[in-house]
Chains A and B, each alone.
Chain A
């Protein structure tokens, strides 16, 4: 009855957390409305789902995330292959790539806005910038793992650079590309929403901060809940797809 015990622990934890929340909400110790009762949040959640406005903003955010992600994947894989095939370039650039990879990307948002304005293109740019590093680093590391025999076979067939990429490198790079993509996709979602929160007029991040600014706290909680469900769901979907 292992699974039974697991479920009991999960249920008890969840109920305890929600209970503490509800108790705090009813205690009246916090500023009025700051901690709305669970029923209000649930109501706001379903009310949100009926708003046509929500789907427009969801579409904008999805568009920014996906476009940024695609740009990052294509350029990240190509740059990773270039780094993987030119050791000298890789040694020279790696210190920069590594330190940029760990830098909080959000600080580049002002530069993105200076370059392409405050609309959706700046979010696409930020998403691409965030996701390109894990993809590039994973692919460059994967290139070093490719069996030299395969590379020599390709060379003895006098493959062109592009043929090497499509026939030799890409099939061997499946796993690094998948792991880079999973990391990158999560980063795309985060940075897009944060950029929308900072400055924008559209998107899920905008909706959330707009609710906050108008002190519509239940709506804000509901939107955050929706965003988390979507983000975790997308991640689960992506791992399911890539597990095969």
Chain B
């Protein structure tokens, strides 16, 4: 691909979006699609104004955003030390590794009725579930990160006679950061998917709850607008994480 094309790519992307929007608009106006099933842009764009007037944008956005952040932070606070512990104690690693992999493969979000029974329809349920779901990839990747520190680095440390704490802070941790961030990235995505999923299922909390409500009231244009907003939140979260990673460890 030529350099000019690469530079123009974002413009092409925006163009594609506009073409798709125009196509949906035309299809609805021509009667090929029902506006009650696929809302055309001419209805979705003003719907953002209605949502804003009803306080259904900023508030639920922040609600979901903060719960995802809290859950990811809690999962990191638990998962990173746990991963380090597994990497340093082979017997426990062998005992729990398989379980972590099984948890990673299992549909943990389905446990939500169980959490409802324990903690009710509360924010605690939402955050605790997301913490649990985000914990698994964070712990798995932290373990992998601390298991695979290049021996050369550790030997350099040895020849400098670093103590335990120095070895951790100056060698192990910096070497582990890239893999840890793979886990954090997965953790954020899992927490987001889980938070919105639970909100949607139990009609409680932020953006997921709003989509569920709007569907229940059959307010289709506003529902499409809110779904677009959720797309935006996932882009914003991943972008933020990317920035943090660059700040922690410039490439």
Contacts and interface: CB of A to CB of B under 8 A. Distances in A.
B113 A208 contact: yes
Contact of A95 (B13, B36, B107, B194): B13
B28 to A, nearest CB: 13
Nearest to B214: A110
Contacts of A189: 107
Query: Range of interface residues on chain A?
Result: 35 or more
Given A30-B118, A91-B5, A95-B13, A228 B106 contact: yes
A110 B76 CA distance: 33
B36 A194 contact: no
A196 B109 CA distance: 13
A146 interface: no
B200 interface: yes
B37 interface: yes
Interface stretch (A76-84, A101-109, A157-165, A168-176): A101-109
> B interface, by DSSP: helix, strand, loop or mixed?
helix
Interface in A1-35: 2-3, 5-7, 9-10, 13, 30-31, 34-35
A217 B113 CA distance: 9
Interface stretch (B139-147, B168-176, B223-231): B223-231
B225 to A, nearest CB: 12
B91 A91 contact: no
B105 A107 contact: no
Contact of B114 (A104, A221, A236): A221
Given A194-B110, A232-B106, A106 B5 contact: no
A87 B1 contact: yes
A149 interface: no
B117 A190 contact: no
B136 interface: no
B105 A99 contact: no
B95 A9 contact: yes
Given A107-B227, A190-B107, A235-B105, A102 B95 contact: no
Contact of B107 (A92, A96, A99, A231): A231
Interface in B1-60: 1, 5-6, 9-10, 12-13, 16-17, 36-38
Given A30-B118, A95-B10, 15 more contacts: A2-B91, A2-B94, A10-B95, A35-B118, A88-B9, A88-B12, A93-B13, A99-B231, A99-B234, A100-B231, A106-B197, A106-B200, A110-B211, A209-B113, A231-B105
16 contacts: A7-B95, A88-B5, A92-B12, A96-B16, A104-B230, A105-B193, A106-B193, A107-B207, A107-B211, A107-B230, A108-B227, A109-B200, A111-B38, A205-B110, A209-B113, A232-B105
